[in-house]
Amino acid sequence: MADLAIVIMPGSPAQIGDLARAAEDAGFAGACMPELTNDGLMCCYVMASATRKIRLITWIVNVYFRHPWLCAAAASMVQEVSGGRLTLGLGVSHRPFMQALGIDMGNARDKLRSVTVELRKIWNGEKNIGVPARKPKTPIPIYYGALALETARLAGELADGAEFYMCPVDRVRKLASAAHETAIKHGRKASDVAITVGLPTFVDDNLEKAYDTARQQLSFYPALPFYNRQLARSGFEAEAKAAMEAAARGDHKAQVAAVSNRLVDSVALVGPASRCIERLAAFREAGAQMPILAPGGPDTMENTRKVIQIFAKAI
């Protein structure tokens, strides 16, 4: 069976450590930490201290928030504490968020490229600023959060893996192919670029209730330009257009209504446990070497524990 990972949402250090241990004990291969109102690498440090063998994956850390020197040093420390279990997922976030913070993104892919090159120079001892760099004893894989084909190709050129999200099965295949074909063009092997796919997960025996919860929580994404374009290119032009227009006029109800059941089913695991586990197989067949479950629902911490218990059977 393919590896399976789970998202541990930011909470208290005790909650983060407890859920990471629960995932490890259940046989999950990876624990993924988003960066929302938290520091993703610091939270991975917490998970490293609470676990022994599970992989720790940033999902993602924002390349605009840290100087590469600081990012390299922090990642090296987590790698040391974890005994070599860190995967550094890098991403560029979203233009509306960066603008709200007063950050000019410029060309986001150029930034991703330059940060990757800089990190590897620092870790390899090629960057001298008068003090020695904190070099990891075990190499730290770099994955890219990728929505566009161009970013998947950049992952194929430079990264060790890609992190896809809100991707229908056909889109997963397309992005994975782009990454692997580019890897080969650059003298690498396709297997040098691992493919992960994040799957919002709404487990409920009542399918309609699960759809309603998913609609509420996923309606946020079509209002972001990067995700809006991805969904439109994946056959959901009407939903993407309606959601963006509703968001522009501040009509939250219409924004939620724009998320169809068809869209939800294409990017998420929804409904009874058996239905969710069956749907998971389709993403594995599409090339997801490590599906990443992102539990949804009103009580994220409790739902995460529930998803861990249910999907332990699918590992």
DSSP structure string for 109-124: HHHHHHHHHHHHHHHT
Please count the other Cβ atoms lying within 10 Å of the Cβ belonging to residue 188: 15
Q: pLDDT tens digits for 193-215? A: 999 999 999 999 999 999 999 99
Reply yes or no on whether the pLDDT at 103 is more than 80. Answer: yes
Per cent of the chain over pLDDT 70 is 99
Q: Name the pLDDT band for 315 (thresholds 50, 70, 90).
A: confident
Q: Is residue 122 part of a domain?
A: yes
CA distance 191 to 184: 10
Q: pLDDT tens digits for 160-189? A: 999 999 999 999 999 999 999 999 999 999
Query: Which CATH number goes with the domain that contains 294?
Result: 3.20.20.30
Q: What is the mean pLDDT of the chain?
A: 96
CA distance 143 to 163: 7
CA distance 179 to 193: 7
Q: Is residue 196 part of a domain?
A: yes
Compute the average pLDDT of residues 79-95.
Answer: 96
Q: Is residue 103 part of a domain?
A: yes
Q: Is residue 213 part of a domain?
A: no
Q: Name the pLDDT band for 128 (thresholds 50, 70, 90).
A: confident
Q: Is residue 76 part of a domain?
A: yes
Reply yes or no on whether the pLDDT at 2 is more than 80. Answer: no
Q: Name the pLDDT band for 130 (thresholds 50, 70, 90).
A: confident
Q: Is residue 233 part of a domain?
A: no
Q: pLDDT tens digits for 263-277? A: 999 999 999 999 999
- The residue with tokens 């109102």 is 37
Number of domains in the chain: 1
Q: pLDDT tens digits for 51-74? A: 999 999 999 999 999 999 999 999
- The residue segments making up the domain with residue 136 are 5-204+266-314
Q: Is residue 227 part of a domain?
A: no
Reply yes or no on whether the pLDDT at 17 is more than 60. Answer: yes
Q: Name the pLDDT band for 95 (thresholds 50, 70, 90).
A: confident
Give residues with Cβ within 8 angstroms of 244, minimum separation 6. Answer: 222, 223, 228
Q: Is residue 250 part of a domain?
A: no
Compute the average pLDDT of residues 288-314.
Answer: 93
- The residue with tokens 């590897």 is 120
